Structure 1
Amino acid sequence: MNINASIIDQRLTSVVNDIRQKAAEELRINDQGRLKSLAFAYLCVKTILDLENDNAFDCLTEGGGDFGVDAMHISEEYDGEFTVTLFQAEYKNNLEGNSNFPEQGIESLINAIQYLFNPAAQLEHINERLLTKVEEARSLIRDGYIPQVRAIACNNGLKWNESAQGAIERTGFGDQVTWEHVNHERLVQILQATRPVKENSQNPVDLKDLRANDERQQRLDMDMQQLGFNYRRKRSDTSTRSTDITSGVAAEAVLSVWREKPHQAKFFSREHFGKLYDSIFTDQLNGSQVIIAVQLYRIAENRRKRPEHTDPDFVRYASCFIAMQMGRRILADMGIQMREISHHNFPRAQQLIEQNGEAYFNTSVQDIQQALHELYGRQDISLQQLSATFRRGDLITRLQ
């Protein structure tokens, strides 16, 4: 038995417990064997991309059909380029660590990349969760952004064989695609390494940690504690409860709901603790305002991840826009402006969210449906168009 393979196998036991509920709710996976495979893919994504728990889980796709990948991550656009990271994970319960990554897994990655580079190709037999991500990436390509692709083959064994390597070389993808092998040895190596926080780093996680001791962050922490909530100013690998609010989620929610810049909330997260920090976390921002924004944002995000069959397609792209409209509705019901939200009227706001949260969501969806009709008329809107529309913020002026 390989020791590092054994270490990862033990780790998967706790990972399975961490993701069990989300796996059932979002991916409808309950089978123990499939859960373990999913946990391995999740561990690889989280470790390689250094993502927080919810963001790592959001990458999991349970791919199949024409686009057989297990996870997919799309970076933010930067200087006209963006990176798509595709994961194919193969886990064996045999812990000898001596099996090659299967050639079929490499073929699945090759097939997925070919579809990715051709925005006009029709995809069939692909689940909605994955299709949403694929069309988001293809929408960026249609808009002229240049994709760089990382194809990551993950297993608890050896690299792919010569035949699979030949298949990679025959693709002609060139420098636009990089191929990486990640196994138990590499995972243990990364997990054992410390993660230094550098002053000049552009990693949003690092910037977030640098801001953690900022006076404004400390004040929000104290303010939220008094309201019964736990503000996580620093990165943490423990699971979040409903009363936990991470600084990253707070930034996205406040930027969507109160600053009314939902496109920046979704697509500029690397700047939330950089260039956008002072406009998000102003001196006037208080704990009550953050909590209310996060609660509205979570309603919209939960539906993005678990849409009902009656929800329109755009719900998977528009959660930040929906949250913005929900914020406007709660202010109207309270008869106040955002700056007037405080611990004095916080209980009333909580009561309204509890009673009317679903109604706020549904009427906000109708707002966006109407805005889309004004923008595009009654024509069918493709998923690629929808993705581009919400990325560019085309609807904001129509939702005033």
Structure 2
Amino acid sequence: MNINASIVDQRLEGLLAQYGNQLAELAGTDPTRQKSLAFVLLSVMTSLDLETEEAFDFLTEGGGDAGVDAIHLGEVDDGEFTVTIFQGKYKHKNLDGESNFPENGVKNAINMLFVLFDPSKPLSVNEKLKPRIEDIRSLIQDGYIPNVRLMLCNNGSKWDAEAQGWIEQSGMNNEQVQWVHFNHDNIVQVLQRKKTVSDSITLSGKAIIEDFNFRRVLVGKVAVREIAELFNRNHDLLLERNIWRYLGLHANRVNESIHQTLTDTNKQNNFYFFNNGITMVCQKFRHNALQGENYQLKLENIQVINGGQTCKTIQHTLNDPNNQNRYDNVYVLLRLYELAEDDQDFIREITYATNSQNPVDLRDLKSNDPIQYQLETGIQELGYSYKRFRDDASVAGKQITSAITAEAVMAVWRKKPHQSKFRRKELFGKLYKMVFESLTPAQAVLAVLVFRVAENERKRPVYIKPEPSFLPYSAHYMAMLIGQELLENHQLSFKNINHKNLAVFVQDLEENKSIYLNKAADLLQNALNKIYGKRDVSLQQLSATFRRGDLLEYLPVV
């Protein structure tokens, strides 16, 4: 028995015990299917660094799923967007971790890709998957370019040479499609990402080392080979966040530019000048100060907090067996900060300051903002728990995450439902002030509760009958309309929501959610009728309409 495969199997048993009902809703009563789906869920959670409830929303298990077990649609960035598709194959009786990902699974994935990303081809999939695919097709129709990451997940080995041959023959093993094998070893690696790493690295030439504000700082240059070897030894435990957000060499323009510079013999020696460098933190570093230059650093508890994409691109480029370039004189700038163990808040502040151009981590990086502390304290007084940053714990009914708060407030109170959904990564960046400025704890809680009502109806329709075709795309708009109706019924403005009347709003929302949902659905249908008349509207058109915010002009938004 493989130890990591056994650890993952135990983790799956825990998911089944905690989320058995939700898994049964999707996979039926068969325990084997439930466990297979739990494996897909765990793969989604760990590979995309998502909390359990959020990961559930991306599962598409069921008949007619076209071999897609889960699908995640990233946001549009610079005319491109990333789609991550999961296909899971779990061995239940054999936990030796040696079975290859099946060749038929690879063939099915190839066939699936040819259909899903061609808007002209007819689509026959289940009702949970179809709106998501039409969302993707709508973006393609609008001229956006998809980058596809295909995660083939199992508790065994990678696919064999015959399966790789099918990939090569398909023509899809290119810059636009990444074929990623993700297994029990990868899952355990991610679960252990908080494990400390101690190692050594050799600098080239002179370096500046000084004490500054009760901390030690080092600035120097390091050969790119040293970076590649450091990551080959320690893999991705060096990274602040989960490496599976890394988009590869070609699916990201910055990474592609780094790769091209490293492989261009006319430019690689100037890589030091072209790149912004790497920032690391450690608890302690030691060196021979009498040496003068070319220090060998002994590092304890290392983390890369800026330049992770650079590091991974260096590693991938130098490890490429087809790359015959020499890298004897190719260097990158290194900034190293020695910080105490109790300096975690300061580390987050450094990470925020040096990563503000990279929105992936902004939620955690904003967790120490005074506004977030105030919300945490005030929301706790209201009987709820506010999670300022991500952790491994699941979110219960009385718990509210900062991410959902931002999304809900932007939709419900700021009345920007399309930005709330399609500019999520900017809610803790460019839009942070618009979302959180002057926001009270009571307003935040009510926004989240309103948003949950709309989201729950989208995921599992109960109250709106017959179910409208636009429902999969409408939760943010419905939340906005419900919030507005709630205030009108109580003849109060948004500014009047406070700790004294919150309970009245919550009770009204809970007792009359069916009325609020149906009225919001009617308003949306009327708006769509004004745009399209009585003619049939495709899911692609609906997706584009909600994405662009066309409906706001036809809704009674005040």
TM-score with structure 1 length normalisation? 0.95
Q: 1:237 to 1:204 in 2, by over 3 A?
A: farther
Q: Could you say which residue in structure 2 is the equivalent of 1:262?
A: 417
Q: Once the 2 structures are TM-superposed, how far is the Cα of residue 355 of structure 1 from its aligned partner?
A: 2.1
Matching residue's letter, 2:15 = V
- Partner of 1:178, secondary structure, is strand
Q: Once the 2 structures are TM-superposed, how far is the Cα of residue 17 of structure 1 from its aligned partner?
A: 2.5
Q: Could you say which residue in structure 2 is the equivalent of 1:353?
A: 509
- Partner of 1:328, secondary structure, is helix
Aligned length: 397
Q: Does 1:155 align with 2:154?
A: yes
Q: Once the 2 structures are TM-superposed, how far is the Cα of residue 387 of structure 1 from its aligned partner?
A: 0.8
Q: Could you say which residue in structure 1 is the equivalent of 2:203?
A: none
Q: Which has the higher helix share?
A: 1
Matching residue's letter, 1:219 = Q
Q: Which has the higher strand share?
A: 2
Matching residue's letter, 1:80 = G
1:227-277 deviation per Cα after TM superposition (whole angstroms, max 9, x unaligned): 111111121222222111111111111000000000011111101111111
Q: Once the 2 structures are TM-superposed, how far is the Cα of residue 336 of structure 1 from its aligned partner?
A: 1.1
Q: Could you say which residue in structure 2 is the equivalent of 1:235?
A: 390
Q: Could you say which residue in structure 1 is the equivalent of 2:164?
A: 165
Q: Does 1:305 align with 2:491?
A: no
- Partner of 1:128, secondary structure, is coil
Q: Return the match for 1:292 from 430, 436, 446.
A: 446
Q: Does 1:32 align with 2:16?
A: no
Q: Could you say which residue in structure 2 is the equivalent of 1:17?
A: 17
Q: Could you say which residue in structure 2 is the equivalent of 1:383?
A: 539
- Partner of 1:134, secondary structure, is helix
* Alpha-carbon distance in 2 for matches of 1:227, 1:373: 41
- Rg (Cα) greater in structure: 2
Q: Return the match for 1:329 from 460, 471, 485.
A: 485
- Partner of 1:313, secondary structure, is coil
* Alpha-carbon distance in 1 for matches of 2:74, 2:108: 21
Q: Could you say which residue in structure 2 is the equivalent of 1:140?
A: 139
- Partner of 2:175, secondary structure, is helix
Matching residue's letter, 1:67 = A
* Alpha-carbon distance in 2 for matches of 1:111, 1:53: 30
Q: Is the 8 A contact 1:100 1:160 kept in 2?
A: yes
Percent identity of paired positions between Structure 1 and Structure 2: 50
Matching residue's letter, 2:378 = D
Q: Once the 2 structures are TM-superposed, how far is the Cα of residue 342 of structure 1 from its aligned partner?
A: 0.8
* Alpha-carbon distance in 2 for matches of 1:230, 1:204: 25
Q: Could you say which residue in structure 1 is the equivalent of 2:529?
A: 373
Q: Does 1:247 align with 2:402?
A: yes
Q: 1:51 to 1:343 in 2, by over 3 A?
A: same
Q: Compare relative contact order (CA 8 Å, sep 6+) and give the higher one, 1 or 2.
A: 1
Q: Does 1:272 align with 2:427?
A: yes
Q: Once the 2 structures are TM-superposed, how far is the Cα of residue 33 of structure 1 from its aligned partner?
A: 1.1
* Alpha-carbon distance in 2 for matches of 1:166, 1:28: 32
Q: Is the 8 A contact 2:23 2:38 kept in 1?
A: no
- Partner of 2:84, secondary structure, is strand
Q: Once the 2 structures are TM-superposed, how far is the Cα of residue 63 of structure 1 from its aligned partner?
A: 5.1
Matching residue's letter, 1:91 = Y
TM-score with structure 2 length normalisation? 0.69
Q: Which is further off, 33-42 or 317-326?
A: 33-42
